[in-house]
A and B are shown apart, each in its own frame.
Chain A
């Protein structure tokens, strides 16, 4: 049973556009929701994370929106650049337990 469902599987965005990736979860005990960015041949790197006591967190061009009642959270990349082309993973964790990951979204930003 997949604990974190991520969509879309792939995404193509024009340079300068907004990339939006969504994740949904069922376990209401999750208390930490990070997004990871992974380039080919590399390990995942933490991009931004949020805890359920806030509805939005912004770091530069990256924003997490969190909807606790809907059990959904999303990543928004503003002014998307070709260098943002990578695979993005949402994840979630119950306190003191390992992260569980979504299946990933392959983002391509085209000029």
Chain B
């Protein structure tokens, strides 16, 4: 069964360091999302891509966060510098198009110390 792949599964980093997460969506899925989920809360959108273009990054803290999907397939989310408040689960999801159901990966659990 096709899955959204994310790596690493867990990441511990020190405050002020840079950290990056990788996502490989389900093959053929044009839409890719990055969500952040704080423990005990629902996922909140950070950025949405349609192919290689950013469709919505209104909730992305652009002073420290960046995201790219250069060839319209896999994607990288970067945080630099990391802050203590960035500790959360970072979830990647993909869908065939913007109106289709979204499938989530297992997430990257980030701990900033």
Give residues in A with beta carbon < 8 Å to B. 6, 32, 34, 36, 41-46, 49, 89, 91, 95-104
Question: Closest Cβ of chain A: how far from B73's Cβ, in Å?
Answer: 19
Q: For the complex, what is the distance from the CA of A104 to the CA of B104, rounded to whole Å?
A: 16
| Residue numbers in A under 8 Å from B41 (CB-CB) | 103-104
| Residue numbers in A under 8 Å from B103 (CB-CB) | 46
B98: contacting residue among A36, A89, A91, A97, CB under 8 A: A97
| Residue numbers in B under 8 Å from A100 (CB-CB) | 45
Given contacts A97-B56, A98-B33, A104-B42, A46 and B99 within 8 Å (CB-CB): no
Contact pattern, B 71-113, Cβ under 8 Å of A = 1, otherwise 0: 0000000000000000000010100001101111111010000
Q: Is the CB of A46 within 8 A of B33?
A: no
Q: For the complex, what is the distance from the CA of A74 to the CA of B101, rounded to whole Å?
A: 19
Closest to A44 in B: B104
Question: Closest Cβ of chain A: how far from B36's Cβ, in Å?
Answer: 11
| Residue numbers in B under 8 Å from A101 (CB-CB) | 42-44
Q: Could you name 23 residue pairs across A and B whose Cβ atoms are closer than 8 Å? A: A36-B104, A41-B109, A42-B106, A42-B107, A43-B93, A44-B43, A44-B91, A44-B104, A46-B101, A46-B102, A49-B101, A89-B42, A91-B42, A95-B99, A96-B98, A97-B56, A98-B48, A98-B56, A99-B43, A101-B42, A101-B43, A103-B40, A104-B41
